Structure 1
Amino acid sequence: MGKLSVFNFLTLNGYYEGKEKGDISWHTHQPGGEEGEYAAEGASSASTLVFGRVTYEMMAGWWPTPSAIETMPDIAKGMNASEKIVFSRTLTKADWQNTRIVKDNIGEEIKKLKKDKDLTILGSGSIVTQLAELGLIDVYQFMIDPVALGAGNTVFSGMKKKLDLKLTDSRIFKSGVVLLTYVPA
């Protein structure tokens, strides 16, 4: 059976995006270095990538571009080659290679997919919230940037029930970024 993992960048005060939808300008990740190596390892895994519409459009607007391929070739290669699923009721086409759109029944679709493959949600706060409430997420990885914002959107915004997590691993990068890995308690 496969696992569903979440991988998100967060600010110290818990935001995964700034005040505007898709704003990750606060994220301090630079090409190369430890975080880049870690991201390249993740991008080269066989995991199917899962997105909501907003994150998908942001990723699809960057990773296939010549700038992304030149700046972060290993990550771009993995992102572009990966199988991708975007959950959206409004998106009508997905031009990024290896992408399919799923319009309904997010929980049932994830249960089906987990039977034989690993899945990784990137960004996509509302998708994380929905799947966390359904108890379908197996691993939560949060890369905490050493920055705080005055406003933004939190990963678990709108969550209706308590989610207890157990820390299973941590890593400190030279940049001050901290990676925390949790599983449901």
Structure 2
Amino acid sequence: MRKLKLQVQMTIDGFVAGPNGELDWMWISGERDEAMFQKVIELADSCDTILLGRKMTPGFIQYWENVVDNQPHSVEQPLAQRMVSMRKIVFSRTQTAITGRNVEVENGDLADTIQALKNEPGKDMMVYGGANFVNSLISLNLIDEYYIFRNPVAIGAGLAIFKEQKPLKLQSSVAYKSGKVVEKYMPV
């Protein structure tokens, strides 16, 4: 059975974005960390499907397709190629079609659809966000592995993915030279 993995950037005070979805805090260190970038590639390579919430999808698709199409020398090119070529399933209650390469829209019951996807053959699946979508997956106990990229910054207020108590078991914790720590958790 395929697993659903969550990879998310988070502040030390538990937010995945600022109050209005701001992500500027992710680059405060300004330092590129090649070892951490390779961890992101490794996680992406363990999956063949990306699950996305409708709200974050336009920015996600636009960003990665722009890197592939218009930035051939970008250091992000290896990850961008993976993001664009991978199957992407967007969950929406309101839209039936979204423009982008390898994009499908799913309007069915979230838990039933995820369970059916887990039963399909293939590699694992990855979810990168958005906050409300991830919170729904967490609330329904659908996440099998949590990869939290903890950033050395507090922002005081913002969007959270944990809105209720959720016991997790720490599997590993790796600190990177950028000051970020990647924590792997499993549901208890």
Letter matched to residue 171 of structure 1:
V
In 2, the alpha carbon distance for the partners of 1:93 and 1:11 equals: 33
Residues 19 and 152, structure 1, Cα contact 8 Å, conserved in 2: yes
Write the mapping of 1:76-155 to structure 2, written as runs, cut at 5 A.
76-116=80-120, 117=122, 118-155=124-161
Q: Counterpart in 2 of 1:36? A: 37
Q: Secondary structure at the match of 2:25?
A: coil
Mean Cα displacement is larger for which, 90-99 or 53-62? 90-99
Residues 17 and 23, structure 2, Cα contact 8 Å, conserved in 1: yes
Q: Counterpart in 1 of 2:6? A: 6
Letter matched to residue 42 of structure 1:
L
- The number of residue pairs the alignment matches comes to 181
Aligned: 1:60 with 2:61: yes
Q: Secondary structure at the match of 1:65?
A: helix
Letter matched to residue 26 of structure 1:
W
Cα–Cα, structure 1 residues 4 and 46, in superposed 2: closer, same or farther, change >3 Å? closer
Shift of 1:38: 1.6
Q: CA offsets per residue over residues 41-90 of structure 1, 9 Å max, x none?
A: 22333331011012212211200004565421100000001111111122
Gaps of 5+ in 2: none
In 1, the alpha carbon distance for the partners of 2:72 and 2:104 equals: 22
Aligned: 1:20 with 2:23: no
Gaps of 5+ in 1: none
Q: Secondary structure at the match of 2:146?
A: strand
Q: CA offsets per residue over residues 2-31 of structure 1, 9 Å max, x none?
A: 10111100011111011213x211112755
Q: Secondary structure at the match of 2:56?
A: helix
Residues 50 and 122, structure 1, Cα contact 8 Å, conserved in 2: yes
Shift of 1:125: 1.8
Letter matched to residue 10 of structure 1:
M
Q: Could you say what the CA RMSD is over the residues aligned between the two structures, in angstroms?
A: 1.8
TM-score (norm: length of structure 2): 0.88
Residues 65 and 80, structure 2, Cα contact 8 Å, conserved in 1: yes
Identity %: 30
Cα–Cα, structure 1 residues 178 and 68, in superposed 2: closer, same or farther, change >3 Å? farther
Residues 88 and 103, structure 2, Cα contact 8 Å, conserved in 1: yes
Letter matched to residue 108 of structure 1:
D
Q: Counterpart in 2 of 1:170? A: 173
In 2, the alpha carbon distance for the partners of 1:30 and 1:59 equals: 22
Residues 148 and 184, structure 2, Cα contact 8 Å, conserved in 1: yes
In 2, the alpha carbon distance for the partners of 1:45 and 1:17 equals: 25
Q: Counterpart in 2 of 1:184? A: 187
TM-score (norm: length of structure 1): 0.89
Runs (4+) of structure 1 moved beyond 4 Å?
A: 29-32
